[in-house]
Amino acid sequence: MWNREIKLSIFGESHGNGIGAVLDNLPPGEEIDMEQLLAFLARRAPQNGKAGSTARTEADTPEILSGLLDGRTTGAPLCAIIRNTNTRSGDYGNISSLARPGHADFTGHIRYEGFNDVRGGGHFSGRLTAPLVFAGAVCGQILERRGIYTAVHILSIHGVQDTPFDTVHPDLQAAAEVKRKSFPVLDNRQGERMQVEIERARLGQNSVGGVVECMVTGVPAGIGSPMFEGMENDIASIVFGIPAVRGLEFGTGFAAAKLTGIEHNDGFYSEDGQVKTKTNHHGGILGGITSGMPIHFKVAFKPTASISLEQDTIDYKNNTNQKLVIKGRHDSCIVPRAVPVVEAAANIAVLSQLLQHHKG
Ligand SMILES: Cc1cc2nc3c(=O)[nH]c(=O)nc-3n(C[C@H](O)[C@H](O)[C@H](O)COP(=O)(O)O)c2cc1C
């Protein structure tokens, strides 16, 4: 469970009856536009023909069990279930006790003493990001009503770079357009190059990773806390809940270590009564508290673990050395589908911090 001012519980297994989310402590009376919500979920869903995407297609339509009445939040826990309809567990028969390198089969088996549902990755499956996206889509609508907007795109795939966001003077129109693209990049030519990389990986029965860039605009200065309950902490804890995340950088991130103070410090100035900075190396957060500049972070995703090339592994039931060839259906790159997941994570963390602030 993600247990902050907002509480989020995600349940289900990839090949069980369904998956879902319980979202607690939302403000009451918030209108939720279902059409907009479904459009958000559709951005994460596997799509036939989309570069690198798994052939598993599913409607991903959430059924709301509680917390919403006449299109508005009631203040009671918002619970949604998404039924699993397209499961072919037979594909996974040959890997039932062969640990997929890079996946959670071995660690999950040890942790749950062999009782966990391994079909399709069980509770470790990327499919569990659908309820996360549901929760983030709801939070996003509440934030947008307060002038807060989350922008996301693919920054790179296997080293091919998109144009980064301008995090000082954000172009919100371009940010809105990128969300409507089936391959969400700012520079379509670079997007085509990325898709070539993904296709090359697929043909080689291999996979590639990449980076998603996220920027949240309109968050007022003064939201957050120092040390353990800051804005960075909450974003980090939910972002690391996304499967396959390997790194997170706020603002200039690791590159800050190579700069001098005068290069890295963002000079303040006042304009129309508002305090701003000329650059945004700090990623909109200082001391765990928002500065009023766009919150900015990047998330690194590893290459998809399930690849069809032969790999060394063990049979975790009898500890024998084995060779593994994965059949199944897998994304050769999960990054395009992870873009709305990162947006959802940001929405949940930022709304939670905002509600905490207003409560205080
Ligand atoms: C949207 C999305 C889809 C994913 N699809 C797959 C997949 O098809 N095959 C796979 O091996 N991993 C996939 N993953 C990643 C695994 O779920 C993840 O690597 C695994 O649970 C181990 O967790 P870890 O990588 O965080 O350590 C996906 C992740 C996301 C965010």
Q: How far apart are CA 209 and CA 180, in angstroms?
A: 22
Q: Which of 58, 245, 331 to mutate to test the pocket of ligand 1 (most atoms within 8 A of CB)?
A: 331
CA geometry: angle at 123 spanning 40 and 74, to 5°? 50
- Residue 136 maps to which CATH number? 3.60.150.10
Instruction: Supply 134's token pair.
Output: 């549901």
Q: Where are the alpha helices (DSSP H) in 9-76?
A: 34-44
Ligand 1 atom having least distance to the Cα of 243:
26
**Any ligand 1 atom below 6 A from CB of 103:** yes
Q: How far apart are CA 195 and CA 188, in angstroms?
A: 10
**Any ligand 1 atom below 6 A from CB of 127:** no
Instruction: Supply 224's token pair.
Output: 């957050």
125 marked as binding residue: yes
One DSSP character per residue, 179-200 reads HHSSS--SSHHHHHHHHHHHHH
pLDDT in tens, the chain (360 residues): 999 999 999 999 999 999 999 999 999 999 999 999 999 999 998 864 455 565 555 668 999 999 999 999 999 999 999 999 876 655 544 447 999 999 999 999 999 999 999 988 899 999 999 999 999 999 999 999 999 999 999 999 999 999 999 999 999 999 999 999 999 999 999 999 999 999 999 999 999 999 999 999 999 999 999 999 999 999 999 999 999 999 999 999 999 999 999 999 999 999 999 999 999 999 999 999 999 999 999 999 999 999 999 999 999 999 999 999 988 667 899 999 999 999 999 999 999 999 999 987
Comparing CA positions, the residue from 210, 211, 165, 162 lying closest to residue 187 is 162
**Any ligand 1 atom below 6 A from CB of 316:** no
The rounded Å distance from CA 105 to ligand 1 centre is 12
Which residue is associated with the tokens 């968050």?
Answer: 219
The rounded Å distance from CA 244 to ligand 1 centre is 5
pLDDT in tens, 86-142: 766 555 444 479 999 999 999 999 999 999 999 888 999 999 999 999 999 999 999
Q: How far apart are CA 124 and CA 127, in angstroms?
A: 8
Q: Which of 13, 44, 92, 125 to mutate to test the pocket of ligand 1 (most atoms within 8 A of CB)?
A: 125
How do 63-66 and 68-69 pair as beta strands? unpaired
Contacts of 103 (CB under 8 A, 6+ apart): 121, 124, 305, 306
Q: How far apart are CA 351 and CA 84, in angstroms?
A: 29
pLDDT in tens, 283-292: 999 999 999 9
Task: Give CA torsion, residues 153, 333, 306, 344, to 10 deg.
Answer: 20
**Any ligand 1 atom below 6 A from CB of 121:** yes
Ligand 1 atom having least distance to the Cα of 54:
8
Ligand 1 atom having least distance to the Cα of 307:
11
**Any ligand 1 atom below 6 A from CB of 126:** yes
Which residue is associated with the tokens 């980076």?
Answer: 211
**Any ligand 1 atom below 6 A from CB of 104:** yes
306 marked as binding residue: yes
Q: At what angle do helices 129-144 and 335-359 cross, to 10 degrees?
A: 50
**Domains contained in the chain, number:** 1
287 marked as binding residue: yes
Contacts of 107 (CB under 8 A, 6+ apart): none
Q: How far apart are CA 206 and CA 132, in angstroms?
A: 27
Q: Is 268 helix (H, G, I), strand (E, B) or coil?
A: strand
Domain that holds residue 218: 2-359
